Amino acid sequence: MTHVGDVVRFQRPKASDKAAGRGLCASGFHKWEAVKEKPFDVKQGKLVTLLRCTRCGATRTEAR
Ligand SMILES: [Zn+2]
């Protein structure tokens, strides 16, 4: 019989590489990758490059 109190514990994902990535990201070393979705920033009225970190998902724009 299964006890009601039995809880299936989720296995913690082994993400050693992600942990290392977070360390790098935390240190400011993001892995920026250009995103093609938004080549033009209307607000700034000029061409910008949207960059996204492939590890933590942070984004930033870079004026050309
Ligand atoms: Zn990052």
Residue 2 lies in a domain: no
Element (H, E) at 25: helix 16-26
Give distance in angstroms: CA of 51 to centre of ligand 1: 10
Residue 4 placed within a domain: no
**Structural domains of the chain, count:** 1
Distance 47 CA to ligand 1 centre (A): 23
Report pTM: 0.54
**Tens of pLDDT, residues 10-54:** 666 555 666 667 789 999 999 999 987 655 556 767 777 889 999
Whether residue 34 is contained in a domain is answered as yes
> What three-state secondary structure class fits 24?
helix
pLDDT at position 25 is: 92
Taking 80 as the threshold, does the pLDDT of residue 56 lie above it?
yes
How many angstroms does the Cα of residue 3 sit away from the middle of ligand 1?
Answer: 43
Domain of residue 53 covers 30-64
> How deeply is 44 buried, as exposed, middle or buried, from its count of CB atoms within 10 A (0-12, 13-18, 19+)?
exposed
Closest CA relative to residue 33, chosen from 55, 49, 53: 53
